[in-house]
Structure formats: structure tokens, C-alpha cells
Chains A and B, each alone.
Chain A
Amino acid sequence: MDWKNKLWVRILAVIVFLLMLVGAALSAAGLWLCVETHVYSDGGAYLRQEALYTLACRMDSTVESYYYDSQNGFDAYGREHWEQVFSPENTNFFFRLKDADGKVVLSSAARPSQYHASGELDIPGHEMKVLDAEFSSAAQRQVRVEELNKSAWRIYNVDQWEDTDESGKTVYHLSVDYSDEPPLTIERYIAKDFTARDEISFFMGWVDRLIGARNALPWLTGVFSVLALAALVFLLILSARRKPGWLEKIPLDVLVFLYVCLVGITFDILEELAYGEWIEFILIGLMGLVWMFLILRFVVSIAIRARAGTLWKNNVIYHILKLLWRFCKWFWAALKDLARSLPLFWRTAVIWIALCFCEFIGLAMFGFNGERLLFCWFLEKLVLTPLLFFAVLSMQRLQKGARRIAEQGPGEPVDLTHMYGAFREHGEYLNHISDGLQAAVEEGVRSERMKAELITNVSHDIKTPLTSIVNYVDLLEKEELENEKAKSYVEVLSRQAARLKKLTEDLVEASKASTGNIAVNFAPTDLNVLLGQAAGEFADRFRQKELELVLSTAPEQPVIRADGQLLWRVFSNLMTNIVKYAMPGTRVYLSTAVKDGKAAVTFRNISAAPLEKSGAELSERFVRGDASRTGGDGSGLGLSIAQSLTELQGGAFRITVDGDLFKAELTFPTEKS
């Protein structure tokens, strides 16, 4: 919605909000005033009375000035001026000033027939505001006395000057000069029908309006408040759509502190103002306006923070608490670690002593009312403590034995001397477990050794006669055989002997690889280099089969942790397969790649014969891609050996067949440099 972002919409919303706020404030103030002055119970009589009295009292200072002038022979303003001021045309106020004897000293020119009498009210005495100064004790006392005596109006003059004493300190002098005249009494009257348009009639008009509107005030307050709130919510919604700005970067508690400082400064300024000058009223108004915006901005900032979820997080206090929490957690973990690293004996000792201490304190505080109880407690501990420590020591020995079995395997049995009951039973079970484990381990070692020996022996025992067969077939081939049939038989013998040789070698290697009976010398190995070396070794054989080699190596060095010799056997088996089974005239793709901390080598070629087996089946033992193919010197073990050797070095071996595309992929975790 486009209009929501327009500037004038926002300004309008702010103005409406401010107006509604002022309305709500005014009506709430009126409501408060009405409730305070019991308007709802007496129909406004008391409020009117109070208002009239206050308005009448406000004229006292004018009467005072009139009285001074009359005492001094009207040399300041003149009698006509005062009569004009207090004429019924200009004011609704009338007065009579009486002395102690009840004689009228001064009064308004006329008195209306109908008036509100304010009664025999005393004119309150002056409140003296004295600067922070040094007074002689007598003067101070006199001022105090005068201040307390507020019931009567006394005329006095205050004179004040400053001076410097011998020590260079500024001293303030104050002299109060009292007139001997007795106190005067003022009688105030206000015309009932407000013949003149003055301050009194103006204010009383507003008072009457307020009383008249007393029933509407609660509604007005409510409506204004709701409207102000609605405007505020609208503003907040508009503003909260904003992204957090520089103000939201300031931690909230720092911002609150800044605002509190600003409030302090504002009050300081307000105190400095003398009130009365127009310019100061404007200043106060401006400050109010500024504050309005400041508060509004603060609320908006809160809304933005709440929306961004940083209301609580972006606080200095939050960070401090978080740090404190972390420290507490760390401390707790360290404490736990310490407790755990402490041997069982000492742990128990600490807890036991602490428990005894607590019990003792508890006894001393609550039940320590007899030596017999203390004696019993002491006796109990005397019996329990050795028992407990005996149990703990037994437990610790059992634990030590169990840990030795768990960490180092079975060995010498757990020592069961001086162990009784359940502990002894437990220890015997432990020793049973240890014995069983010992037997199993020995059995495992023996079977492993037998397996290794079997492989070596079979290998040797087969190879020795095979050597003779190969050699004598070779010799036979060199003999001059006249019989053509015999020649072809020898040729079959030669071929099958070679195949048997290859099969034996592969079989031994396959069994070694799958049982892990091969020493793996791990070293950093560069797959790019290895693939290049392998490709070079096979280059001539590839050319003979008219296979085009496409080599692509990863730009980053794919260095893995592997045994180069074993890995070469894997590569060699895969490339031999390719030479054997790839369709002549096709391309063979060899590539390395590094991705997500893993290095991969991929061999891809097009099979000459259709592949009838899945990738997983192909890497099983004695399985060949083409069932029909029985000739050649393949043992069907090449891929199985490659897979075993790859897995032995911590790699993954995967073969996928997609139509005629044969793909072998090796993945290894890359070496961390």
C-alpha cells in the first residue's frame, strides 16, 4: 500500500494524535477536577464557592498596592486610577479594609446589592523567600516568627545587602523593619450577576461550562483517549515497518538513561525560568512539543525493536547478564569437573563431613537440649564413619578393577581380600567377566593369526607346484613335438597355467584385502599425481586398444591420506578392467574433483559388451560384467579387490552402470593441512 509510506500521511497522523492527546488530557483534567470537588454530588456548589474565593483572593495584591498608594498620598497612580480600577464597570470585585478596631480604612467606591461575600477572611501574610545566606541569629528568628504569623497582614520592609568580612568571605546582611501598625483585615465581595467583564466573569464562565459538561466528561475522556490511542497505534504500525535505524542501534537501557538525563535537564531549565515573560511561555511550549516528539520517537523505537526481536537483546544489562550467566555456567561446570576428578573416597569424605557438620549445627540450633542426645549422635557417627569408609574403599577398588578391564582389557583379577558381602560378590562377578573376556580375546587373536597363516601357507603351497607347472610347460613348448595334437594340448596347458597363476595371486590378495591383513602405510597422497602416473603407465595399452584418454584434474590439490602403493593397485585394477572391457575407439574419462572436503576420482568408459549386472553386483567376488565371456585371464576379483583396498584406506567405492556407461568412483576425505 503506497499511501502508507507518504510523508503527509505521517504528519497528519502525528497532528491528529497530538490533538486527541491534548483533548484527552484536558477532559481527563476536567474530570479529575469535578471528582475532586464533588461536582457530581453537589451539582458544582462547592467548586463555584472555591473558585470564587480563589478569584477574590487573587485581587489582594491589587488592594495592597491601592492601600500603599493611599498611605503615601496617591503619589504613584492617583486616586482616580484606583477608583477606575475598582469601579463596578471594570470589576466584579469589591472590598472593605478594616483596622483592628473594625473601622473601615479603605473600600471600593460602591457595593452591589447582590454579592457573594467571602466572609471575614484574613489576608495571608507574605511568604518570604530568602536566598541561601548567612544571617545574624536574631534576624533569622525574627523572620521565622513573621513567616509563621500568616493570619494577619503586616507591613514590613526588608533590606538586604552583601559585604565581605575580614577573612574575605561574602556575608549577607538582612534587616527587617517592622511597622508598629496593628494587622488589617480585608472583606472581599464579588457581584452576583457579573456586571463587568473581567477575569472573574471569564473564569466563572469556564467553571460553569465545566459544571454544565460534567456528564459528558467521562465520555469525552474515553473517546479522546481511544482516538489518541488509535492514532498512536496507526503511527506505530507505520513506523515499525521501518528497518532498525541508528537509534535502534543504541542499547535500550542506554537510551532510557539518556532520556532520564534529558528530563533532568528540562526540569533544570523549567526551574531557571522566572515565568511571566511571553518568550518563556513560547520556550515552554516548544519544549513540550519537542518532548512530545521525543516520547513518540521512543515509543516507535520500542515498536521497531519489538518487531525486530531486539527489545530485550539490545540492552547493556542483557549482555552483562548473559556474560554473568555464562560465567556461572562455566563456574558450575568447573565445579562439577572438580568433583568428578576427585577420587570417590575424597568425594565421600567431603560430603560426609559436610553432612555431619550440618547435622551438628541443626542439633545445636533446635534439639540440643540434653547431653544424652549429643552422646547418642556422637556414638552413631563413631560407628557409621568407619563402616562408610570401609564400603567406599571397597567400592573404589571394585571401580578401579572395572576401569582397568574396560580400558586395558582383561588382565590380573580384582583383589578381593578384605571384601565382604555384596562387594565381594560383585568383585567375583567382575573377575568372571574378565576371565570370559580374556578367553574371547585369546580366541580372537588365535583365529586371526590362524587366518593370516592360512593365507600365507596356501599361497606358498599353491605357488610352489604352480612354479613347476609353469616352468615345465614352458620347457615342453620348447621341445620339438612332432604330434600337432600334442602341440595344441601344450598350448592349452600354458594358457590355463597362466590363468591359474593370476587367479591364485588375485585370490590371496582379495582375501588379504577383505580381512584387512595388509599393512597400510598412510601418507599424504596427491590424487592428481597418482592419476597422471597411472594414466602414463597404461598409455601404451590404451593406444593399442584405440582408446582415447581424457584426463581432467581438479585445480586444487586433492591431497588425501592413503597408502600410494595400495591405491595404485586399486587404480591399476580399474584401468586393467577398462583396457579389457572398453569398446575400442571410444573415449575413456579419468577425472579428479574436490567437493565439500572430499576428493573424488572417477573412471568412466563405454563397455564393449552390454553390461548385464548392476554396479553393486559387479564389485562382488567372481562376478564379471558379461556372463557369456569365459575366456581371457580375468579372475572376476579385480573390482572386489579394488573395493576392499579402497575401504581399507578409509575411502568409499561406488560403481554405477548406466546403459553401456561404466563408472567407478572413489571418494576420500581430503587431508587437512
Chain B
Amino acid sequence: MYNILVCDDEKDIVSALKIYLSSGDYQVFEAYNGREALSVLAREDIHLVLLDIMMPGMDGIETLTRLRENSNVPVILLTAKSEDTDKVLGLDVGADDYITKPFNPVEVLARVKSQLRRYLQLGGGAVQPKQLRIGGVELDDAAKTVTVDGEAVNLTPKEYDILRLLMQHPGQVFSPKEIYRAVWDELPLNADNAIAVHIRHIREKIEIDPADPRYLVVVWGKGYKMMPQKGD
């Protein structure tokens, strides 16, 4: 039983989220502005916070800044702004993830689950020499297995090779040709399309929302990279 704080100025959204999260076996605390959220946090043992950005009075960003002064509880931002600058700002201030409104309930549950698992079960686990880890994605080169938030993922050998290459160099952009050369070990013959299809498949397996990836990011017109995550 984990405690989740939901903070949004729209009561209907809070209660909808409460219904969803309660069905997922979570204890939900409600708050309707930043001040309330901070007082709940001080009172209760909260394991995860869902925080709206656009709120009257103290907005989500300010609340998050205050919260981060004495807590490292995972925070998922709820935002109607889908602009990249807001996402970047939120992540910079200390958010662990974000969900854009109007959101899909399934996605909310998945992200909550992922963050909790990372925060409570995997945090601090020693990394084996042949293990690569970025956020919730773990690649064990000895066992040739990949897990996301502890759940095993089935990758084809080529997909596995591509993911390993990208995970060995977090943040580095690989062009399709470079990936082809490294994984297939031969000269690429118009392989742009083939690599892109593989990447798409990997994303569908490791990302919660493949259209809005958090790990395997497309750098359009250049290539692909694994985004380094907070706490790596």
C-alpha cells in the first residue's frame, strides 16, 4: 500500500484520478493548491506526488521547488502546456516525469507504477560490471536480458544490439548509418528506413507512450540517443 498525493485545482480531475489510483491499490491524498500539498506532505508519509502546474496562488513549479528542499519523493507533473520549454523547466526543477493533459488513465497508472518501482525497489541497487542501467531500463549483457522497471522485455537480437550500443553511450546521438555499421558490421545500403523500424519497435517495448518517449529519443534529421535519466 503506497501513499500518493494528487494535487490539482480542478476537483473533478482529482476525484477521477483518485478513482483510478484507488483501483490500483494506492492510498490517495487530495490537495487543491500548492500550500495544501505541502502541508499534506509534511503530515503524511507520501511515496509519490502528482502535481498540476497551472494552479492559482502557488503554482506547481514553486510547490515543487519548496518540496525539493527537504524531500526526494518522486513527482510527476500534470500539465496542460505541451510546450517543450515547460517540460524542460519542470524536469530541471526536480520533477521525475510529466504527463500532458488531457491524459490517458492507463498512462497515468503506468507512470505512477514505474516511478514507484524505481523509487522504492531499485534505488541504490549495485550495478553489476556487465550491467547497463538508464532510469528504469536495465540491460544485462551476461544474461542477454532487458528489463524495464523490473519487468522483462522481449527484444530480438538486432533490437538488443541496437539498445546495447545506445545504452553504452548515454546521451550520444547515433546516426542510422553509424548504428548500421556498428550492429550489422557492414556498409549501410540505404538502411535509414530499416533502423527506424527497429527503433520504433524497441520504443514500443520499453516506453510507456511510444509516441512520447522518455528513454529512446529521436533526434529528427540526425539520429537516435538514450536520454540519461535523473539519478543515473
Contacts and interface: CB of A to CB of B under 8 A. Distances in A.
A410 to B, nearest CB: 30
Interface string A451-490: 0000010011001101111111011000000000000000
Given A468-B12, A567-B220, A537 B200 contact: yes
Contacts of A475: 16, 19
Interface residues of A, number: 42
A470, A524, A530, A536, most chain B CB atoms within 10 A: A536
A539 B200 contact: yes
Contacts of B81: 456, 459-460
B231 interface: no
B193 A551 contact: yes
A220 interface: no
B221 A525 contact: yes
A540 B196 CA distance: 11
Contacts of B61: none
Contact of B220 (A463, A535, A565): A565
A531 interface: yes
Given A532-B176, A535-B192, 18 more contacts: A467-B13, A467-B80, A468-B12, A471-B13, A475-B19, A526-B222, A529-B175, A529-B176, A529-B192, A529-B222, A529-B223, A531-B192, A532-B196, A533-B221, A536-B192, A537-B218, A551-B190, A553-B190
Contacts of A530: 220-221
Interface in B184-204: 190-200
B221 A539 contact: no
For the complex of A and B, 4 pairs with smallest distance between CB atoms: A536-B196, A532-B192, A564-B220, A525-B221
B191 to A, nearest CB: 8
A531 B16 CA distance: 41
Contact of A472 (B16, B195, B199): B16
Contact of B193 (A464, A540, A549): A549
B200 to A, nearest CB: 5
B144 interface: no
Contacts of B197: 536, 539-540
A531 B222 CA distance: 11
Interface in B1-53: 10, 12-13, 16-17, 19-20
B221 A527 contact: yes
A528, A529, A535, A549, most chain B CB atoms within 10 A: A529
29 contacts: A460-B54, A464-B13, A467-B80, A467-B102, A468-B16, A470-B102, A471-B12, A471-B13, A472-B16, A505-B82, A519-B85, A528-B192, A529-B175, A532-B192, A532-B196, A533-B220, A536-B200, A537-B196, A539-B196, A540-B200, A549-B193, A551-B192, A551-B193, A553-B190, A553-B192, A564-B219, A564-B222, A567-B221, A568-B218
Contacts of A534: 196
A459 B101 CA distance: 10
Contacts of B123: none
Interface string B217-232: 0111111000000000
Contact of A463 (B12, B102, B192, B199): B102
A460 B192 CA distance: 38
A499 interface: no
B56 interface: no
A530 B192 CA distance: 9
B222 A536 contact: no
Contacts of A529: 175-176, 192, 221-223
Nearest to B211: A537
Interface in B69-113: 80-82, 84-85, 101-103, 105
Nearest to A456: B81
Interface of A: 456, 459-460, 463-464, 466-472, 474-475, 501, 505, 519, 523-537, 539-540, 549, 551, 553, 562, 564-565, 567-568
A537 B198 CA distance: 9
A474 B109 CA distance: 14
Interface in B146-167: none
Given A459-B80, A474-B105, A567-B220, A533 B192 contact: yes
B102 A568 contact: no
Contacts of A553: 190, 192
A670 to B, nearest CB: 13
Nearest to B221: A525
B194 to A, nearest CB: 8
B144 to A, nearest CB: 24
A472 B12 contact: yes
Contacts of A535: 192-193, 196
Contacts of A525: 220-222
A539 B193 contact: yes
Contacts of B10: 464, 467-468
Contacts of A536: 192-200
A531 B192 CA distance: 8
B223 to A, nearest CB: 7
Contacts of B80: 459-460, 463-464, 467
Contacts of B222: 525-526, 529, 564
A501 B85 contact: no
A468 B11 CA distance: 9
A591 to B, nearest CB: 12
Nearest to B194: A536
A576 to B, nearest CB: 12
B173 to A, nearest CB: 11
A329 B106 CA distance: 77
A530 B195 CA distance: 12
B196 A564 contact: no
Contacts of B193: 532, 535-536, 539, 549, 551
A527 B197 CA distance: 17
